[in-house]
Amino acid sequence: MSNVRPSTQSFGEWLRTQREAQGLPLRKVAAHLDVDTSIVAKMEKNTRPTTRRQLELLAQLFGANLEELLVMYLSDRVAYDLLDERCSEAVLQAAEQKIKYLRQKSLVQGEIEF
């Protein structure tokens, strides 16, 4: 089983490492995802977004835990969005609170019967 380290390694770095460790050329991974090889190359460079379905297929291909891949991929997206912002820590704290609020609100609304 593949080790996913969401703390520091980027999703693209992980993808390239896994592909190379298994001796797979870009074209084999691309065929598994049903995309062009240039798409996989861009995914490895963190310049191309990845879909949920592609993450599922990659988890399957490399024997990785899907939730760990999601954490790695989504944390990359957040990190790159906030990289140049001086208030990134405050934004993360506010986002965490909003997520809790929205989940709670969603639960409460889901229980209301009309």
Q: Please report how the helices 26-33 and 11-21 are oriented relative to each other, as an axis angle in degrees rounded to 10.
A: 110
Q: Which residues of 51-69 are buried (b: 16+ CB within 10 A; e: fewer)?
A: eeebbebbbebbebeeebb
> Residues of the chain with pLDDT > 90: what percent?
62
The stretch 7-17 carries a mean pLDDT of: 89
Q: How does the average pLDDT of the chain come out, rounded?
A: 88
The stretch 63-72 carries a mean pLDDT of: 94
pTM beyond 0.95:
no
Confidence check: pLDDT of 113 > 60: no
User: Could you tell me the maximum CA-CA distance found in the chain, to the nearest angstrom?
Assistant: 57
Cα(80)–Cα(46) distance, integer angstroms:
10
Contact partners, residue 77, CB within 8 Å, separation at least 6: 49
Per-residue pLDDT of 26-51, as tens digits, reads 999 999 999 999 999 999 999 999 99
All domains in the chain, ordered by first residue: 11-84 (1.10.260.40)
Residue 1: pLDDT band with limits 50, 70, 90 = very low
